[in-house]
Amino acid sequence: MIGGELDVRVWAPERKDVRLLLDPRTPGERVLPMTPESRADGASGYFHARIPGVGAGARYAFALDDDSRAYPDPASRSQPDGPHGASEVIDPTAFAWTDKHWRGIPVRDRVLLEAHIGTLTREGTFRAAIAELPRLGRTGITLLEIMPLAEFSGDFGWGYDGVDLYAPYHRYGTPDDFRALVDAAHAQGIGMILDVVYNHFGPDGNFLSCFSPRFFTEKYGNEWGTAIDFEDAEPVRRFFIENAAYWIRDFHLDGLRLDATQAIHDASPKHVVFELGRAARAAAKEPGQPARDIFLVAENEEQKAHLVRSEARGGWELDSLWNDDFHHSARVALTGRREAYYTDTKGTPQELMSAIRWGYLFQGQRYSWQHGRRGSPSLDLPASAFVNYLENHDQVANSADGARVATLTTPAKWRTMTTLLCLVPATPLLFQGQEYGALRPFLYFAHHEPELAKQVAAGRAQFLSQFPSLRDPELVRRLPDPADPRTFQESQLDPTERETPRGIALEAMHRELLRLRRDEAAIYQQAADKVASAVLSDRAFVLRFFHEDGDRLLLVNLGVDLDLGVAAEPLLAPPEPTMDDGGSPKQVRWQLIFSTENPVYGGGGTRSIEDDLGHWRLPGESALLLRPVLAAPDPIYPRPKPGGTTEAK
């Protein structure tokens, strides 16, 4: 809309005649010709129309040549009746924003929670999600990562089958309802990023090829459908680059999560991911205002480090990468299961320590599961270049029953690994409900017409068959039907779980851990090169966070009670003694400041970690955080003389 006029422009280079349909399929329908735009070389391919007196809320569509069908706008901002209906005119300036002074979330303050709008609340709407924000803010969540919103077919779905990239899914609410959610989040000190899918379109409701087959190419393979052609037509490329900027500019979002970037194929001199990242950052800069701090994170199954390197080093200048290696090792440590893509990880202390220090575990070594090499060298990347998680939508749902990981391990182990996730360098990500130990499953759900639904269900069963335990014929017969409304409903969070003793305890633990992450300088610095680690046993290890204002010690034991005795491990040594006012040394000892065995968090209590003789004892399945404090001098004991005799000192 421009000054009360509807200004419409659409790219259809192979079409000879494009007409604008106002209020299509109604008694007031008007059919208006669109004017082809031309360049000197005759290669424009755009059609244009400007119609006065058409305001927000009007419906429109396109007629293409002699095709009798009415097609929605490829860049529609709203599809009130779904992807097969007419598009709706939206005024993007009508919403009254209140976040003028919002500047985003700084790097070290980022704590992500991934959420699906349809299952985050029972109502499954943008407006209902607003009520969740104060609680999430109190817990310590600073960035809400929303699963894809682009309009898709059906009554429910994950969102990765989007077909109208500019239109928020109509069943969640209007575009302004989404703006209201973002605005409310900013008022609570929470940023919001959106998961976007630029590697494929869904199988139902995608009409882009009707406007131009040049949107797609057979040059590259794509496991989810026909690959998108980013190389041969600038308008196609611009369609996606503008989309990235659109979400940042028109919805004040704080960043994007780019889905499956390994399937975004582009051999252009500047990769489209690099260009859309640049466009997104430019969209966060308003005239006369400092730029908002936005967060661009990628999923990349191939684990290519160049996505987060600078342009000068051949990189795409994103901020972070999802770290599946950390997840896989942690999951094996928690459950002991090593099927399918968990085959190459063992969940050992050394693996976890390496993932904390170096990010990816596989940086070009052979990966037996894929019969080839995996990853690329990334030893130079900072901790902020990685997002760690114990759960996300994929990993929870990649099972027979969508079980949350907390149900697959012991409560004590789950508290222990949660502590590791929340305190170590790298950006932590929780999955909705994880902060209070949600027990409701998260299943794969996708509502389609019957024939397509049958194909989707078969494809899902085939995907899960990579897990040998999921090939059992009886289990296959019991797999939830993705198109069944009950599958969707069972995946919706149950708010009453938060009020159980277990829910209260786990939410309190997350709140304290994220406070420690924020308030303890040695942890807040989020510098992997300032953390040293050592293996204490086949199930236990220690991390020491070095800082000029005081070190912190994190002891992690995923096994049984461990008696270290007088441990010959320098990382356990207390910091250097300090001097009192008289110049005499004052002894320093470690003091416990957090334990997963605290009864407040559902634990069984924590005994003393170091006795008067300096013997270390670590409780089984626990994580303990210690800080240095002044202490009384060591007790006086007889000490051996050279040669083995003793004398009192």
Domain for residue 241, yes or no?
Answer: no
Are 156 and 191 members of one domain? yes
Q: What is the CATH number of the domain that holds 43?
A: 2.60.40.10
DSSP string, 316-356: ---SEEE-HHHHHHHHHHHH----GGGTT----HHHHHHHH
Percent of the chain at pLDDT > 90 equals 84
Domain boundary among 456, 490, 514: 514
Whether residue 499 sits in one domain with residue 620: no
Q: What is the pLDDT of residue 648?
A: 47
In a domain, 279, yes or no: no
Rounded to two decimals, the pTM is: 0.94
Q: What pLDDT score was predicted for residue 630?
A: 85
What is the pLDDT, as a whole number, of residue 649? Answer: 43
Same domain, 343 and 475: yes
Residues 340 and 454 occupy one common structural domain: yes
> Does residue 641 lie within any of the structural domains?
no
Among the three residues 53, 71, 89, which one is the final residue of a domain in this structure?
A: 71
Residues 6+ apart with CB under 8 A from 461: 476, 479
Q: Which residue has the tokens 């780019």?
A: 258
Task: Please indicate, yes or no, whether residues 434 and 560 belong to a single structural domain of this protein.
Answer: no
Q: Is residue 215 part of a domain?
A: no
Domain count, the chain: 3
Co-location of 493 and 447 in the same domain: yes
What tens digit of pLDDT does each residue of 533-586 get? 999 999 999 999 999 999 999 999 999 999 998 888 999 998 887 666 666 677
Residue 239 lies in a domain: no
Task: Please report the pLDDT score of residue 567 as a whole number.
Answer: 82
DSSP label at 208? H
Model pLDDT for residues 409-439, shown as the tens digit of each residue: 999 999 999 999 999 999 999 999 999 999 9
Amino acid 489: pLDDT: 97
Q: Which of 357, 373, 358 is closest to 302 using CA atoms?
A: 373
Q: What is the DSSP string of 483-530?
A: TSHHHHHHTS--GGGGGSHHHHHHHHHHHHHHHHHHH-HHHHT--GGG
Just list the catalytic residues: 259, 299
Same domain for 540 and 432, yes or no, is no
Asked whether 574 and 567 are in contact (CB, 8 A), the reply is no
Residue type, 29: E
Any domain includes 216: no
Indicate whether 486 and 576 sit together in one domain.
Answer: no
Whether residues 320 and 444 share a domain: the answer is yes
pLDDT of 276-310, one tens digit each? 999 999 999 987 778 899 999 999 999 999 999 99
The answer on pLDDT for 497 being more than 70 is yes
What average pLDDT does the segment 355-359 reach? 97
User: What is the overall mean pLDDT for the chain?
Assistant: 93
Residue 607: pLDDT band by 50, 70, 90 thresholds?
confident
Kindly state the tokens that stand for 627: 């800080």
Alpha carbon 628 to chain centroid, angstroms:
35
Cα 139-144-147 angle, rounded to 5 deg = 135
C-beta neighbour count of 313 within 10 angstroms: 10
162 alpha-carbon distance from chain centroid: 18
With tokens 């037509």, the residue in question is: 233
**H or E element at residue 454:** helix 450-464
pLDDT of amino acid 5: 81
Query: Of the candidates 248, 323, 244, 242, which has an alpha carbon nearest to the alpha carbon of residue 293?
Result: 248
Instruction: Check whether 135 has a pLDDT greater than 90.
Output: yes
CATH assignment of the domain containing 474: 3.20.20.80
Q: How far apart are CA 211 and CA 73, in angstroms?
A: 10
The CATH number given to whatever domain includes residue 615 is 2.60.40.1180
Q: Give yes or no: residues 343 and 260 share one domain.
A: yes
Which domain, by its residues, includes 615? 529-630
Share of residues in the chain with pLDDT > 70 (%): 94
Q: Which two tokens stand for residue 136?
A: 């999430």
Query: Do residues 457 and 548 share a domain?
Result: no
- Report DSSP letters for 397-440, one per residue: HSSSS---GGGSS-HHHHHHHHHHHHHSSSEEEEETTGGGT--S
Residues 416 and 361 both lie in one domain: yes
638 within a domain of the structure (yes/no): no
Q: What is the mean pLDDT of residues 106-111?
A: 97
Residues 6+ apart with CB under 8 A from 128: 120, 121, 122
Residue 407 lies in a domain: yes
